[in-house]
Amino acid sequence: VRVIYMKKKATTIDVARKAGVSQTTVSRVLNGYSHIKEETREAVLKAIEELEFSPNEIARSMVKQKTRTIGVILGDISNPFYAEAANIIITNAREKNYDVFISDTDYCYDAFDKNIRTMIGNRVDGVLIAAIYKKESSINELFKYKIPVMFFNVLPHGKEHNYIIANNKRGSDLAVKHLKDLGHTKISMLSYPSKYPSYYLRYQGFLESMKKYMLPIDEDVLFKGGYIYEEIYPFVKEALKRSDAPTCFITTTDQQAIAVMDSVKKLGFNVPKDISIVGFGNIELSSHPYFELTTVSIQKKTMVQLALEKLILLVEDDQQEPIQIVLEPELIIRKTTSTRRKKSI
Amino acid sequence: VRVIYMKKKATTIDVARKAGVSQTTVSRVLNGYSHIKEETREAVLKAIEELEFSPNEIARSMVKQKTRTIGVILGDISNPFYAEAANIIITNAREKNYDVFISDTDYCYDAFDKNIRTMIGNRVDGVLIAAIYKKESSINELFKYKIPVMFFNVLPHGKEHNYIIANNKRGSDLAVKHLKDLGHTKISMLSYPSKYPSYYLRYQGFLESMKKYMLPIDEDVLFKGGYIYEEIYPFVKEALKRSDAPTCFITTTDQQAIAVMDSVKKLGFNVPKDISIVGFGNIELSSHPYFELTTVSIQKKTMVQLALEKLILLVEDDQQEPIQIVLEPELIIRKTTSTRRKKSI
DNA sequence: CTGTTAGCGCGTTCAC
DNA sequence: GTGAACGCGCTAACAG
C-alpha cells in the first residue's frame, strides 16, 4: 500500500477560498445564519463537501467559551450501577447535542482530584458527580471556576449544592414494613454504613423503622461489612444457627442480598419458604431468573435523567435556584419474600 | 448566601502581569522549560497560585494540534464486557496522561456515525473501536483525517487495519477438547453467529474442532439465537428430552452458559454431575460462587491494555507498521464440567 | 535567560 | 448580504 500524504485538515479559510467568499460567510453557513443568498450558500456547501471539511470544535469552543461538554465523575464504571448511569447520560446528552466526558475514580481520592482538574482544564460546561470523598477540597475548585455542579445519588455536606438523591431511609422503611406485614418479627440487617453516606442512611432508616414498628433490634444479627461472599457466608451461618434465628434478611445492596441468598441456600434453607430476603438498589441482575430478588428500587433512571436535564438548565441559564430533589423509592416485590413460616428453624 | 461575582478565569497574561514577566515566560514555567531563573519561576508560581490559574487545555490543544485525548467507541457501556474495557482504558490512559472520550453506540448505526463525527470534530488523537457495523463508511472518515485507529475484539474487513483480537476458533477448540478429554461425545452448541464476527468464528471453530476430533455434529442440538432465558430454556428442555441427549453444552457467551445452567437445573439435572457446561468470555459474573463456570477466557485485560498502548504508539510516532495481534485464549476450569456419567439420562 | 511576534481555526463585531 | 479585522488563550519560532 502506497503511503499517501494527505493534505492537512481543511479550515474555514480553505473553504472560503475555494468558494470564492470570505471566511466569515463560511462561518455563517456553518451556523445556519439566515440572510445568505442561496447561491453563495450552495457554493460554500459544495466547497465543504469537496474539501472534506469538518469544523474544528476545539477552535469553536475557544471562541464561544463553551464546550458543550458535560463532565461525569463516577466511582467505578465497571460497577453496574455506574455503568448504567453512564449509558443513560451518554444517550440523553447526545439528544441534546452535548458531549460527555466520563471519568471514574476507582474509589481513589487522587484520581478524583485529577479528574476534577482535567475537567476544569478542558473547560467542561458542567459536571455531574456520583461519587464523593471525605476530603472534598477539589470539588471547591469547580465552584471557584463557577462551573455548575449537580450531584446525584450522593449528598454532599453543604446545603447550597444541587442534588438529586433517593430517600434512602424511606427505602429501608418500605423493606421493614413489607416484612412486618408478612408476619416477620426477627429481621437481620446487613448494613455497610462506612461505604457511602447513602448506605449509612439505609442503615439508619432500618433502625428507625424497627423502632417505629416496635420490632426488636438484635445487635447479634446486625452485619456491618461489605458484599464479599467470604464475609457474608459466615455471618449468615452463625445467624441461622441461633435459637432465635432471624426469619429474614434486609441488605444494603443487591450484591449483598445475592450473597445472602447463596449462603442461605448452601445452608440448606429454602428462599422464600424458610427465609425471606429483601435487597436494595434493584440492579439489573436482581431481576435475573436465577435470583428474582425482592428489592427496593431507587428510581435510578429517573434520577440520572433528571440530573442531566437539570444540569443543562443550570449551564444554559446561569441564574437558577439551587435544585434539590429527593426521589421516593419503590418496593419491587419478586420471589424472595413470603409469609413467615410457623415453626422456627 | 450572597452571590459573589467571580472574576473571569485567569489567563497566562493575567499571571504574567501579576508576576511582572512576559506571557511567554509563564508558558515556559507551565511547561517545565529548564532555563529559567529560579526567582522568576517562583514569582510566576506564586502568581498562578494567587490567581487560581488553571491552564486552558482547549487553547493548548489548538496550538499544539494535539488533544491528548483518545476516543473510544463501545457497543453499550452497560454491557459488562464494555464497561470493564472502559474501566481499563480510563485507568491506563490516565497514567499516560491521556484523556478518554467514551461513546457507546447502543448498537445503533446512526449513533455510531455521529460518534465518529464528534470524535473528528473534537480532534481526538486516536480512536479505539470495539464495535463495528456493516456499513463502515464513517470509519473511513477517520482514515481520511489520518486519525490512527485501533480495533480490539473485532476484526474489520480491510487487511491493512490495526487490530488486537482473540483467537476465537482456538477458544472453541479448547472447549471441545476439554469435553472430549472428559469422555463426552455428544456436545450441544449454543451459537449466536449473526451477532458479531467473533461469535461467528466461535461457531466455526466449534464445527471444525468437532470434525477434527471426529465427534458427531448433531444439527438438532445446535442452537442459533441469543442469550435470553426464554429462548434458551425451551431449547435445553427439548435437547435433554431426546433419547440421544447431549451430555454437555458449549456456549458462545457466558450469559448463554448461565441461562443454560439455570435451565438444566430447573429441569432437575445436576451440574456438573449429569451435565457439563463450558462458557465463553470469562465475564466477572462467571466466577461468582453461584456459577463457578468453566469457560474460555479471551484475555480481555491484556487485549484492552495492549490496544491502548499500541494506539498511543501510533499516535506519537506516525510511521509505524500496521499492528495486528492475535491473542491466544485460555481455558478456565471451574466447577461446571466433569467426566461424562456412565448411564444415559 | 527572557521578551516580541506570529499564528492555531473559528465566531463576532462593525462597517459597507 | 457580505467582508475586514479582531480576539479567544496558548505555544513556537526568533531575537536579543
In angstroms, what separates the C-alpha of B338 from chain A's closest C-alpha? 21
Label the pairing between strands A149-152 and A163-166: parallel
Out of B1, B77, B289, closest to residue A229 by CB: B289
Query: What cell was used for A210?
Result: 424497627
Question: Which residues surround strand D, with CB < 7 Å?
Answer: A 20-25, 28, 35-37, 40-41, 59, 62-63, 65; B 8-9, 11-13, 23-24, 27, 30-31, 53, 55-56, 59-60, 62-64
Q: For B30-46, what is the mean pLDDT?
A: 88
- Cis ω before A272 (30° cut-off from 0): yes
| C-alpha–C-alpha distance, residues B26 and B3, integer Å | 32
| C-alpha–C-alpha distance, residues B262 and A322, integer Å | 49
Out of A67, A262, A290, closest to residue B58 by CB: A67
Q: For B160-172, what is the mean pLDDT?
A: 94
pLDDT of residue A290: 78
Q: Which of A1-5, A37-41, A122-126 has the lowest mean pLDDT?
A: A1-5
Out of A9, A91, A259, closest to residue B145 by CB: A9
In angstroms, what separates the C-alpha of A58 from chain B's closest C-alpha? 6
Cβ pair A123:B58 closer than 8 A: yes
Confidence of residue B3 (pLDDT cuts 50, 70, 90): very low
Coil vs helix vs strand at B326: strand
Separation between the CA of B64 and the C1’ of D11 (whole angstroms): 7
Q: List the alpha helices (DSSP H) in A23-71.
A: 23-30, 38-51, 57-64
Question: pLDDT tens, A222-280?
Answer: 999 888 888 999 999 999 999 999 999 999 999 899 999 989 988 989 999 999 999 99
Please measure the distance between the N-terminal and C-terminal CA atoms of chain B and give it in whole angstroms. 76
Which phi and psi angles does B193 have, rounded to 5°?
A: -60, -25
| C-alpha–C-alpha distance, residues A198 and A253, integer Å | 11
Sign of CA dihedral A25, A26, A31, A36: positive
Question: pLDDT tens, B151-161?
Answer: 999 888 777 88
Cβ pair B54:A284 closer than 8 A: no
Question: pLDDT tens, A290-337?
Answer: 789 999 999 999 999 999 999 999 999 866 788 999 999 999 999 999
Chain B contact set for A259 (CB, 8 A): 289
| Cβ atoms B276, B261 nearer than 8 A | no
Cβ pair A77:B90 closer than 8 A: yes
Confidence of residue B212 (pLDDT cuts 50, 70, 90): very high
| Cβ atoms A79, A131 nearer than 8 A | no
Q: Which nucleotide is nearest to A10 (CA to C1')?
A: C9
Cβ pair B111:A118 closer than 8 A: no
Determine the residue type at A37: K
Question: pLDDT tens, B59-95?
Answer: 999 999 999 999 999 988 888 889 999 999 999 999 9
Separation between the CA of A21 and the C1’ of D8 (whole angstroms): 24
Which CA-bearing residue is nearest the C1' of D13?
A: B24
Question: Residue A37 contacts by C-beta under 8 Å, 6 or more apart in sequence?
Answer: none
- Cis ω before B272 (30° cut-off from 0): yes
Separation between the CA of B109 and the C1’ of C11 (whole angstroms): 32
Separation between the CA of A40 and the C1’ of D1 (whole angstroms): 10
In angstroms, what separates the C-alpha of A63 from chain B's closest C-alpha? 10
Chain A contact set for B262 (CB, 8 A): 289-290
Check whether B308 has a pLDDT greater than 70. Answer: yes
In angstroms, what separates the C-alpha of A216 from chain B's closest C-alpha? 32
Question: pLDDT tens, B125-153?
Answer: 999 999 877 666 688 888 888 899 999 99
User: Which chain A residues 151-180 have CB under 7 A to strand C?
Assistant: none
Question: pLDDT tens, A169-201?
Answer: 999 999 999 999 999 999 999 999 887 788 999
Chain A contact set for B54 (CB, 8 A): 117, 120-121, 141, 145
The radius of gyration of chain A's CA atoms, rounded to the nearest angstrom, is 27
Coil vs helix vs strand at B259: helix
- A9 CB and strand C closer than 7 A: yes
Coil vs helix vs strand at A296: strand
- A144 CB and strand C closer than 7 A: no
Question: Residue A208 contacts by C-beta under 8 Å, 6 or more apart in sequence?
Answer: A169, A172, A173
pLDDT of residue A164: 95
Query: What cell was used for B334?
Result: 471451574
Nearest alpha carbon to residue B71 among B145, B114, B112, B129? B129
Cβ pair A9:B117 closer than 8 A: no
Which CA-bearing residue is nearest the C1' of D1?
A: A36
Which phi and psi angles does B111 have, rounded to 5°?
A: -65, -40
Nucleotides of chain D within 7 Å of a protein C-beta?
1-5, 7-13
Q: Which helix (H) or strand (E) holds B280?
A: strand B276-280
Nearest alpha carbon to residue A83 among B284, B289, B36, B79? B79
Separation between the CA of A27 and the C1’ of C12 (whole angstroms): 10
| Cβ atoms B84, B300 nearer than 8 A | yes
Residue A202 exposed, middle or buried by CB count within 10 Å (0-12, 13-18, 19+): buried
Determine the residue type at A271: V
Sign of CA dihedral A70, B306, B310, A107: positive
Coil vs helix vs strand at A211: helix
Chain A contact set for B120 (CB, 8 A): 54
Confidence of residue B254 (pLDDT cuts 50, 70, 90): very high
Cβ pair B76:A87 closer than 8 A: yes
Query: What cell was used for A190?
Result: 446487613
Coil vs helix vs strand at B289: coil
